[in-house]
Amino acid sequence: EIRWEYAHAATYSIQGSNEEDPMNWTQIASETGREGLVITRLPRGTEARWVRMFGERRATNYGFSIWEFRVYADPTVPQPEPPQPPGRHATGLQMPMPSLIPIFPPNLRYLTRDNNFV
């Protein structure tokens, strides 16, 4: 789903790729000659790991400006859990934190405009 700002595209396509490092893209949906702020939805059953908007023709002189670009998975299809990135803790891990963390060291002094320390 794309929610456009004023500088929207008159002609564009939504492309997807299932590659690990996407080099090849397949057109999923397209809009041609749109003259207004439109919301574009992808067809049901679309499968892609990566999704992008490919702007072909601007509707204004300001380029392409997207307010929000949302992609949802079908809730009926179970989605695998993504692997944890290296160096990250598992979900639910709690780490003790000190109750008070000093923001400024106690011996910090400020120099004012007239060269006086506070």
Boundaries of every domain in the chain: 2-69
Tokens at residue 114, please?
Answer: 């007239």
Q: Which CATH superfamily is domain 2-69 in?
A: Galactose-binding domain-like (2.60.120.260)
- Its pTM stands at 0.55
Tokens at residue 38, please?
Answer: 């439109």
pLDDT at 47 (0 to 100): 82
Q: How far apart are CA 28 and CA 15, in angstroms?
A: 5
For the stretch 57-89, pLDDT in tens is 888 888 888 888 888 776 666 667 777 666 655
For residue 22, which amino acid is it? P
Q: Could you give the C-alpha distances from 113 to 7, 79, 107, 116, 118, in angstroms and in order?
A: 47, 60, 20, 7, 11
Q: How far apart are CA 40 and CA 11, in angstroms?
A: 12
